[in-house]
Structure formats: C-alpha cells, structure tokens
Amino acid sequence: TELCEFVQRAKFNRMGAFCYSAEEDTPAAEFDGQIEESVKQRRHEVIMAEQSVVNDKQAENQIGKVHTCLVEGYDRMNKCYFGRTKMDAPDIDGKIFFMSEDKHNAGDMVELKVYDRIDYDLLGEEI
C-alpha cells in the first residue's frame, strides 16, 4: 500500500516494475524467506495498475499539445507513419502515429498536434 501511494503521489512520467529473480552468486539469492512467485506476480500487477492510472491521465493531458516528432517509419498495415517525441525512448516508450499526404522518411522531423491516444501511444495530425 505504501508503494502504491508513492506511485500515485510521484506521478512518474515513465515507470516499469519487475519481479525480483534470484541471480547466481548474489547474496540476496541465498537469503531466507524468499517470496513465492505468485506473490511477486500479484505485487507486480498491483503496482503496474497504479502506474496505468497515472499514464492514462498523462496521456489525456497531451491531447491538444504540439510536439516535434522524429519519424521512424511507415506502418503498412495501418497505413500511417509513426515516430517519437523527445519524451520517448526507442523500443520502450509509446509512439505517436499520424497520417500525411506528404512522403516522409525515417529521420525526418515533423510537427504534430495530438488529437487522441490509445493506451501508451498518441495519435497526431501534421501541422
């Protein structure tokens, strides 16, 4: 409960949590009172659910804002471009998806206004 309250107060922009796993030749791997895997998994689910609430609010706050986006590529299945803002780390954080009548290449910079979100990803329109 204390950790959940901290996550609610801290409002991390990005947060990940991982279950502890004993690593060979580490002192902690030999400690008595190791926690069962099911308890670890439940704790992980609870803390990430708390962070999900924070993420939802932060994503909602992005709607209407303009960001410079680094184009990473084109999604042929969804027929749109995708990229990242300066806030997003590659392969970890969400993306921003947008359609454009102009042809863009990976590495191009575009100005996008966020109009919606889907989970951790944003939807933008080129301006």
What is the distance between the alpha carbons of residues 18 and 30, in angstroms, rounded to a whole number?
19
Contact between 76 and 101 under an 8 Å Cβ cutoff? The reply is no
**Whole-number Cα distances in Å, 41 to 21, 62, 70:** 11, 31, 36
Using 50, 70 and 90 to split pLDDT, how confident is the model at 29? confident
Taking only the tens place, the pLDDT of each residue in 55-93 is 888 888 899 999 999 999 999 998 999 999 988 877 778
Contact between 104 and 73 under an 8 Å Cβ cutoff? The reply is no
Q: What is the mean pLDDT of the chain?
A: 91
- Mention every residue, 6+ apart, whose C-beta is less than 8 A from residue 59: 94, 117, 119, 120, 122
**Whole-number Cα distances in Å, 26 to 32, 37, 79:** 13, 18, 49
